[in-house]
Amino acid sequence: MKQSIEELKQLIDRLEKEHVLSKEEFITLIDNPVPELSEYLFEKARGIRREHYGTDVYLRGLIEFTNYCKNDCYYCGIRRSNRNASRYRLTKDQILACCKEGYGLGYRTFVLQGGEDGYYSDEVLTDIIRDIKIRYPDCALTLSVGERSYESYLAFYEAGADRYLLRHETADQVHYGKLHPPALTLDTRKQCLMELKEIGYQVGSGFMVGSPGQTSGHLAEDLLFLHALQPQMVGIGPFIAHHDTPFAAEENGTADLTLFLLGLIRLMLPAVLLPATTALGTIDPAGRDKGILAGANVVMPNLSPREVRNKYLLYDNKICTGDEAAECRHDIDSRIRSLGYQVVVDRGDFKQITGGKKDVSCEINQSRRIYQP
């Protein structure tokens, strides 16, 4: 049955009020991302993000410290089987140099992201975490290093890591099996996310939009999974095929649907930290700007050393991988200002909502200032 635009808007009104819809209702919205409805959604999403975060946009300095990975996800350009990937690892000194450069540029969150690389044992990684936190105690440290044991997660947390990103990618068992080899399971992924929450991390999850075999039913399940998880961060981006993977010939996801889902997520999880991702900027040159206007409040520029940036290619045509990446920081700042928002020098922690009021107790007590290039 075809819904009228008014009926669709009523669903969005209810999502704004109740923060959740049924699976069928989500499917109805996802199947109808017409421009009029998207605009209606984005306006509400901007209003909600403004309520919680004003016009602030938070920066995360991304340090891609290893592109070795023991896994073989079918969509990923640095999967183990890709013999054409030129592999690298950063030393502790190189990582600290990235932090130093980032700190000077106003970054107050560093994200250590890498493949699942056994070289970085718990001992090696905790040593790096400790050193970063000793040198930059006013900064938050986010890890994105995949599935590890509870003991490893706990050791990293005790060493000073504040946040952890682990996308679930798809909340549907069968679809998960189409994107990953049998060694990886959705149950393990969910178990890791629960353990990270239990330990006390600010947790981020998320999924690809338009991945091979994905249906609007899967996307609705993704939204319901995120609603149940109540993560502090959600990262979504369009699927983009990498030429050296089994999905080389698959169609890419679209910016429009990704933006629509960003808006829905803002209404569902009002205070969530929501990045306008690099993948969104890759599929559409204005994608990150549009992401901010659809309710996103975070950007994650690349702080990795220039010489390795073009080696961490999870998908084709990734932006900001060459010399131009250094300029990204200033470019992003002026683009954000032109949208009516401002990049701030701030850890950018999650703002808890209790009883309709914001509880900012997890925020570090420090003066926030507008970034001046």
Helix (H) / strand (E) element for 98: namely helix 92-104
Query: Which CB sits closer to ligand SF4, 71 or 185?
Result: 71
Q: How far is the CB of 113 from ligand SF4 (least distance, A)?
A: 9
Query: Which CB sits closer to ligand SF4, 103 or 207?
Result: 207
Query: Which CB sits closer to ligand SF4, 248 or 362?
Result: 248
Residue 146 structure tokens: 């995949």
Beta bridge partners of 140: 109
Q: Rounded to whole angstroms, how far apart are CA atoms 325 and 328?
A: 5
Question: Mind giving me the DSSP string for 171-190?
Answer: S-HHHHHHHS-TT--HHHHH
Q: How far is the CB of 73 from ligand SF4 (least distance, A)?
A: 3
Helix (H) / strand (E) element for 129: namely helix 122-135
Query: Which CB sits closer to ligand SF4, 73 or 279?
Result: 73
Query: Which CB sits closer to ligand SF4, 192 or 344?
Result: 192
Quote the longest CA-to-CA distance of the chain. Answer: 60
Q: Rounded to whole angstroms, how far apart are CA atoms 284 and 237?
A: 11
Q: Rounded to whole angstroms, how far apart are CA atoms 96 and 63?
A: 10
Q: How far is the CB of 362 from ligand SF4 (least distance, A)?
A: 28
Q: How far is the CB of 333 from ligand SF4 (least distance, A)?
A: 29
Beta-strand ranges (E) seen in the chain are: 56-59, 61-66, 109-114, 140-144, 163-165, 202-209, 233-238, 298-299, 342-345, 352-354, 357-359, 369-370
Q: List % helix, strand, coil for the chain (3-state, nearest 5).
A: 40, 15, 40
Q: How far is the CB of 61 from ligand SF4 (least distance, A)?
A: 19
Query: Which CB sits closer to ligand SF4, 225 or 315?
Result: 315
Interaction site with ligand SF4 (CB under 6 A)? 69, 71, 73, 76, 78-79, 115-116, 146
Q: Rounded to whole angstroms, how far apart are CA atoms 230 and 283?
A: 28
Q: How far is the CB of 13 from ligand SF4 (least distance, A)?
A: 37
Q: How far is the CB of 169 from ligand SF4 (least distance, A)?
A: 8
Helix (H) / strand (E) element for 192: namely helix 186-199
Q: Rounded to whole angstroms, how far apart are CA atoms 362 and 297?
A: 18
Q: How far is the CB of 313 from ligand SF4 (least distance, A)?
A: 11
Residue given tokens 């950018």 in the structure block: 348
Query: Which CB sits closer to ligand SF4, 57 or 76?
Result: 76
Q: Rounded to whole angstroms, how far apart are CA atoms 373 and 370?
A: 10
Query: Which CB sits closer to ligand SF4, 81 or 361?
Result: 81
